[in-house]
């Protein structure tokens, strides 16, 4: 997913998971397998 986002192949608009959104954002930002995301990761209430 990170590779596709970096190449502007798609824009993620929805992620469905069992954890809260701030936790998922934090995990995405510091993924240990694919390395840190190079851009700011933020969330907003929907």
Domain ranges of the chain: 13-46
Dist. CA 19–CA 29, nearest whole Å: 15
13 confidence band (pLDDT: 50, 70, 90): low
pLDDT at 46: 55
Taking the CA atoms of 17, 25, 42 and 20 in sequence, report the sign of the dihedral they define.
positive
15 confidence band (pLDDT: 50, 70, 90): low
pTM: 0.49
pLDDT mean across residues, the chain = 78
pLDDT at 32: 65
> Locate tokens 């851009």: which residue?
39
């Amino acid at each position: 997913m990170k590779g596709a986002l970096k190449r502007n192949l798609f824009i993620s608009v929805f992620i469905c998971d069992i954890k809260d959104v701030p936790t998922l954002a934090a995990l995405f930002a510091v993924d240990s397998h694919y390395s840190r995301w190079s851009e700011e990761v933020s969330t907003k209430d929907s």
